[in-house]
Amino acid sequence: MVKRNVLQRCLCERTQMIEVGHLQTKLPMKRDDSTCRGFELTADPPRHQRRATEVLAAHPELRALFGRYPQSFAWTGALVALQVAIAIALAVIAAPWWCIVLAAWGIGAFINHALFVLIHEFTHNLVFKTTNANRLGAIFANIPIVFPAAIGFRNFHLLHHHHLGVPGLDPDVPGAREARWIGNSRWKKALWVGMFWVIQGITRPNGVKSQRMIEPWSVLNGFCMLVAMAPLMWFFGWRPPLYLFLGAAFALGLHPLGGRWFQEHYVFRPGQETYSYYGPLNRLCFYMGYHNEHHDFPSVPWKHLPAIRAAAPEVYDGLYWHRSWTKLLATVIFDPSFSPYRRIVRAPATGSGETQHAFAD
């Protein structure tokens, strides 16, 4: 009990220090229990590396699944071409705004979400041999998403793996102010979900001081998006960029696919930090729902993630997992017990180094 209280005090003080640093003030640090209210605090390191070791000991044949899957680039090219073609077709037929919104929600969100997943594959260097080739592949996959996301996602997602659950180092952990403001209010949670692309892409990364948001590759990413969007707007007007942008925003928000962002690490069983989704939408998003499997084995490409669960059902079937992203999204918004604080957090000393092979070139 003493150890837990010390950890809670240290973590509260650290969270406040991060916030103060963000505000660039020199206020003295004081303990503020409100920064930790609702979080499930732990002194244990993430479970993933130990579980991966145990699974490999029992199923050494899974080592054959490690490595690159170059065919992901073919999927990238096909989806980029399809999404751009749909955007142009909407301009050619002079589709009204409501038709564009419906097309973005019913079609564009699924394609852009799949491209987000492929950007994730490039981030883990699971497509090409070299890091720079994977960076360029991610930028290419970024084209229909409109706003530059590929390089920023790469930089901050690798921190997420390396510092899982550490406030101020893991960009996936809600900030203290974010969590306090959202609370368990239904309308605020609906707004939170609807604007999740802003929170995930701008707000939370701004709170991670160990990684710059602007660097040469992110500048190139932004330049490429401008080069890609300029001819679309010049030749076809406002409809293609609107369709593409809305498709990306829906994929990250008020859409069945939006449940994915809350499936991965929000606590639904005490002590369990990461969760998988085994529902039918996995077939439309390159098995991204297999999130425990991914964190256990980040060097395994999307194609082989179901094989990990199939080989070790005694491990993964015993964990809590989700069947429906739509049901989960309804729970996030309407369940008064759900708030951004439903996360497991840890102090920095125990939160780093989840897996070294997450960074392998």
Mean pLDDT, residues 59-67: 97
Backbone angles phi, psi at 354, to 5 degrees: -60, -50
Whether residue 203 has pLDDT greater than 90? no
Mean pLDDT, residues 251-278: 95
C-alpha span between 280 and 326 (Å, rounded)? 12
Q: Which stretch of 6-10, 228-232, 257-261 has the lowest confidence by average pLDDT?
A: 6-10
Three-state secondary-structure class, residue 344: strand
What is the structure's pLDDT at 37? 55
Q: Give percent of the chain with pLDDT exceeding 70.
A: 86
Confidence of residue 206 (pLDDT cuts 50, 70, 90): confident
DSSP label of 322: E
Whether residue 22 has pLDDT greater than 50? no
CA distances from 2 to 72, 87, 113 (A): 50, 59, 45
Whether residue 194 has pLDDT greater than 90? yes
C-alpha span between 187 and 94 (Å, rounded)? 34
Q: Which residue has the higher pLDDT, 300 or 17?
A: 300
Confidence of residue 202 (pLDDT cuts 50, 70, 90): confident
Polymer length of the chain = 361
Q: For the purposes of burial, counting CB atoms within 10 Å of the CB of 177, is it exposed (0-12), middle (13-18) or buried (19 or more)?
A: middle
Confidence of residue 65 (pLDDT cuts 50, 70, 90): very high
- Encoded amino acid at 269, one letter: R
Q: Which stretch of 31-40, 58-67, 254-263, 326-335 has the lowest confidence by average pLDDT?
A: 31-40
CA distances from 119 to 85, 112, 223, 236, 302 (A): 20, 10, 17, 27, 12
C-alpha span between 68 and 28 (Å, rounded)? 49
Mean pLDDT, residues 311-339: 96
**Cβ(48)–Cβ(296) below 8 Å:** yes
Q: Tell me, yes or no, if the pTM score tops 0.95.
A: no
Mean pLDDT, residues 161-168: 92
The 10s digit of each residue's pLDDT in 113-127 is: 999 999 999 999 999
Mean pLDDT, residues 46-62: 96
Averaged confidence pLDDT in the chain: 87
**Cβ(15)–Cβ(35) below 8 Å:** yes
The 10s digit of each residue's pLDDT in 277-311 is: 999 999 999 999 999 999 999 999 999 999 999 99
Q: What Rg value do the Cα atoms of the chain yield, rounded?
A: 20
Mean pLDDT, residues 346-354: 59
What is the structure's pLDDT at 349? 56
**Cβ(257)–Cβ(107) below 8 Å:** no
C-alpha span between 129 and 209 (Å, rounded)? 30
Alpha-carbon dihedral of residues 283, 290, 84, 201, nearest 10 degrees? Answer: 150
